[in-house]
């Protein structure tokens, strides 16, 4: 991995990485990837997030859905762990709570495959520093 040698380097790198992420986030191309983030802080893992993440990686591969499954930190919804965020190409990300393996399967089959929402959505209730 190349070292970051100056602020200019860092800025260039940020632009590159951001456009890469933007491409992933803002693309309307139906062929682009489904992104799933699993909240994997201690609380999430204790409620079974790891099993859910393994399941999601496994099942999306088996069913031939192009997906990026990544881990992230605590989303703050401790009452509804494990939580996952699913971002379908061209759509706003949606957070689902209380995702066990059964629920994860339902989300893959209904929401990811057909765009049908399923119960257990957690509405966004905060603003970010960007807006």
The residues binding other proteins (CB under 8 A) are 1, 3-7, 9-11, 13-14, 17-18, 20-21, 37, 39-43, 45, 70-80, 83, 85, 97, 116-129
CB of 61 to other proteins, least distance (A): 19
Q: Could you tell me if 8 and 41 are in contact, meaning their C-beta atoms sit under 8 angstroms apart? A: no
Q: Kindly tell me which of 21 and 61 has the beta carbon lying closer to other proteins.
A: 21
CB of 49 to other proteins, least distance (A): 11
108's CB contacts (< 8 A; 6+ apart) are: 56, 59, 60, 63, 65
Question: Which H/E stretch holds residue 103?
Answer: helix 101-106
Q: Kindly tell me which of 62 and 88 has the beta carbon lying closer to other proteins.
A: 88
Cα-based distances in Å from 100 to 24, 51, 53, 68: 26, 8, 10, 19
CB of 39 to other proteins, least distance (A): 6
């Amino acid at each position: 991995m190349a070292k970051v040698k100056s602020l200019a380097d860092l800025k260039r790198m940020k632009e590159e990485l951001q456009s890469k992420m933007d491409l992933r986030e803002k693309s309307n191309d139906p062929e682009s990837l489904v992104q799933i983030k699993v909240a994997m802080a201690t609380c999430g893992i204790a409620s079974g997030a790891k099993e859910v993440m393994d399941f999601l990686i496994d099942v999306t591969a088996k069913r031939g859905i192009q997906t990026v499954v990544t881990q992230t930190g605590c989303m703050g919804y401790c009452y509804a762990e494990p939580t996952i965020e699913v971002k379908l190409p061209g759509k706003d990300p949606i957070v689902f709570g209380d995702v066990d393996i059964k629920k994860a399967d339902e989300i893959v089959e209904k929401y990811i495959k057909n765009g049908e929402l399923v119960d257990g959505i957690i509405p966004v209730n905060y603003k970010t520093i960007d807006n």
